[in-house]
A and B are shown apart, each in its own frame.
Chain A
C-alpha cells in the first residue's frame, strides 16, 4: 500500500532562516502533489500544487520541488516568520485518490 512520510513530526527554526520540509512516498506514482497549511483547530488551507512534469514551483516565499525519481518533494519557506508556525501537510493526488502525509509541525522562533 502507498505510504507518505514527512521527515519529522516537528521542526523548530529561527526567524529569518529557511525552513525545509520533506515529503517522501513509496508504492505510488502521483500525477500531482499538493502542500497544505493547517492551524490548530482549523481545516487545511491549500498552498501549492506541483505536477509530475514540473521540477519546481514558487509562490512568494514558498518553493516546492518534486523529484519523481527520488519520490520526494521538498517544501521551502524562505525568510521564515513566527506567523509561518503551523502544521504543513503534503498530499498526493492521482486519478481517483488523494492521500495526506502525517504533517510536520513547524515552529518559527522569534
Chain B
C-alpha cells in the first residue's frame, strides 16, 4: 500500500532555532500534501495544504512566515518551523493524497514530536 515517510520522528530544539520536517511519499506521486498539528488528546488541526510547484494554502490563524512549507517535487514536502518557541511544541503529522482528489483516503506519516526547550 501507499507509504508516507516522515522524518525525523522526534526532535528537541532550543527556543529561537528552526526545525525542518520532511514528508515523503515513497511509492506514489503526491500532488497534494497536508500538514497537521495535534496537541495531546486533541484532534488533528489542519495547518496548510501543499500543492507541488505552487505556494501552500494556510488555514486561518496559521502564520505562513513561521511555518514555511515547500513542496518542490511530487514526492517531497517540507515544513520548517522558524524561530521555534515552547508553545510550538506539538505533534506534527503530514499526509498525502495519491490521486489529487479529496475523496481519496489520506496516507499519513508517523508524525514528528517537536519539543522546544
A46 an interface residue at 8 Å Cβ cutoff? Answer: yes
Q: Do A103 and B6 touch across chains, with their CB atoms under 8 A apart? A: no
Kindly state the separation between the CA atoms of A107 and B94 in the bound complex, as whole angstroms.
26
Q: Do A98 and B106 touch across chains, with their CB atoms under 8 A apart? A: yes
Q: B93: nearest residue on chain A (CB-CB)?
A: A43
Residues of the A chain whose Cβ atoms lie less than 8 Å from the Cβ of B108: 36, 43-45
Kindly state the separation between the CA atoms of A94 and B6 in the bound complex, as whole angstroms.
26
- The A/B interface has a contact count, at CB < 8 Å, of 55
Considering only residues 36-64 of chain B, those with a C-beta below 8 Å from chain A are: 41-44, 46
Please give the residue numbers on chain A whose beta carbons come within 8 Å of chain B beta carbons, in ascending order: 9, 31-32, 34, 36, 41-46, 49, 51, 89, 91, 93-103
Q: B36: nearest residue on chain A (CB-CB)?
A: A100
Q: Do A94 and B102 touch across chains, with their CB atoms under 8 A apart? A: yes
Which of B73-81, B82-90, B109-117 forms contacts with chain A? B109-117
Seed contacts A42-B110, A44-B106; 12 additional CB < 8 Å A-B pairs: A42-B111, A43-B4, A43-B108, A44-B44, A49-B103, A93-B102, A93-B103, A95-B102, A99-B46, A100-B44, A100-B46, A102-B43
B25 an interface residue at 8 Å Cβ cutoff? Answer: no
Residues of the B chain whose Cβ atoms lie less than 8 Å from the Cβ of A95: 102
Residues of the B chain whose Cβ atoms lie less than 8 Å from the Cβ of A34: 105-106
Given A44-B44, A102-B43, check contact A96 B102 (CB 8 Å).
Answer: yes
Q: Do B43 and A103 touch across chains, with their CB atoms under 8 A apart? A: yes
B34 an interface residue at 8 Å Cβ cutoff? Answer: yes
Smallest CB-CB A-B distances: 9 pairs: A43-B108, A46-B105, A102-B43, A100-B44, A32-B103, A43-B110, A93-B102, A100-B43, A43-B93
Q: Do A89 and B102 touch across chains, with their CB atoms under 8 A apart? A: no
B31 an interface residue at 8 Å Cβ cutoff? Answer: no
Kindly state the separation between the CA atoms of A102 and B103 in the bound complex, as whole angstroms.
20
Residues of the B chain whose Cβ atoms lie less than 8 Å from the Cβ of A44: 44, 93, 95, 106, 108
Q: B109: nearest residue on chain A (CB-CB)?
A: A43
Kindly state the separation between the CA atoms of A49 and B111 in the bound complex, as whole angstroms.
22
11 A-B residue pairs with Cβ-Cβ distance under 8 Å, sorted by A, are A9-B41, A32-B103, A43-B108, A44-B95, A45-B108, A49-B105, A89-B44, A96-B102, A98-B34, A99-B46, A103-B43
